[in-house]
Structure 1
């Protein structure tokens, strides 16, 4: 499955899965459904306005609706961290190809080329469908020019799954009580790096993350404990100390 590497706030590189054609279509359908619902509401309001008010009110409502329709994607992606309502429901978001947060100019470029990707007379979305299907990073034309794509925002491992990664004995005692300074997302990151190591035997991430965690929680590692053992111990301690039943 195609992925893109993103540097996290802990300065650790993590691969995120690129959203496929199915997620894009589903997100777009949700957004279209919202506009259809809004269209019904605006038509009803316009009919009411025409019966009791001047035609000016009806035209005002029409232009308001068109403004929402035209600028919806641009405004939503800028204020909702790369998402529209549909994208948020489908748990996907816009990201730069280099893994950074898109700039205003990138959002603007994506928005400007929506007319070609989705609009008439370009096949009502055929251009976007073909481009996403055949491009390396599942990009529509606007993405290619803006150097962006869509990634899945759902972590490959959720914290509730992390909690069941280790079966701890009832007599277990935490070695590093400082792990309480970590967040759930920190625990997820440690788990992801460990899973990546078990699969690829890539020690670089283990060393890098262990150094970051040591610095973050300010602990001294016992002699004889290597970086891998340290991260495994931190994850076990975090589960033990944050357990509901603890």
Structure 2
């Protein structure tokens, strides 16, 4: 989609920063998950452990807060913030991300991150605005706020 404005959108893949951000975000979520298994896990029939009830539900709540909640409120997850990355609407990165956009982005994390993030890397490298599947569906872009060449550029 080309814009009919006096500016144009410019992004870069930022693969290294995006990888570090994902490791931070999902490392925090996985740490909480492991803590819940340690504290509340009960042996199951498959030889593993299950976490049920409120402790099990809290894992979903923590995922929701650390991904969708923070991103919708601040434009960045903790991992993205640490790397200087900001998620914004593709149509106008000056605007704030909506709840629906953040929800769509993160509902596809399981697909984007499988296997080992390969699908996300391929789509980031091969789309015009360096978007993964979640970004394509939500119509969002990831911009390195520390790079003056990214974001909206005035047309000459």
| TM-fit CA distance, 1:125 | 2.7
Distance across 2 between alignment mates of 1:19 and 1:91: 14
Structure 1 partner of 2:87: 94
For normalisation by structure 2, the TM-score amounts to: 0.70
CA deviations on 1:49-102 (whole Å, 9 max, x unpaired) are xxxxxxxx96421221233235632122112x2211100101101011222323
Distance across 1 between alignment mates of 2:8 and 2:128: 19
Distance across 1 between alignment mates of 2:106 and 2:31: 22
Greater relative contact order (Cα 8 A, min sep 6): structure 1 or 2? 2
Cα gap change, 1:105 to 1:44, in 2 (>3 Å):
closer
Structure 1 partner of 2:121: 129
More helix by share: 1
| TM-fit CA distance, 1:13 | 5.9
Count of paired positions = 139
Task: Give the conservation status (yes or no) of the 8 Å contact 2:13–2:124.
Answer: no
For normalisation by structure 1, the TM-score amounts to: 0.47
1:105 pairs, out of 96, 100, 105, with 100
Q: CA RMSD in A?
A: 3.4
CA deviations on 1:85-133 (whole Å, 9 max, x unpaired) are 1001011010112223232322222123223222xxx525322121112
Distance across 2 between alignment mates of 1:101 and 1:19: 21
| TM-fit CA distance, 1:35 | 2.1
Cα gap change, 1:125 to 1:18, in 2 (>3 Å):
same
Residue pairs, 1:7-86, within 5 angstroms: 17-46=11-40, 59-69=53-63, 72-79=66-73, 81-86=74-79
Question: Which blocks of at least 5 consecutive residues in structure 1 are unaligned?
Answer: 48-56, 157-192, 197-201, 203-246
Task: Give the conservation status (yes or no) of the 8 Å contact 2:90–2:140.
Answer: yes
CA deviations on 1:211-236 (whole Å, 9 max, x unpaired) are xxxxxxxxxxxxxxxxxxxxxxxxxx
Helix, strand or coil at the partner of 1:149 = strand
| TM-fit CA distance, 1:145 | 1.9
More strand by share: 2
Cα gap change, 1:71 to 1:116, in 2 (>3 Å):
farther
Helix, strand or coil at the partner of 1:93 = strand
Cα gap change, 1:103 to 1:127, in 2 (>3 Å):
same
Cα gap change, 1:69 to 1:102, in 2 (>3 Å):
closer
- Bigger radius of gyration, 1 or 2? 1
| TM-fit CA distance, 1:15 | 6.8
2:146 pairs, out of 141, 145, 154, with 154
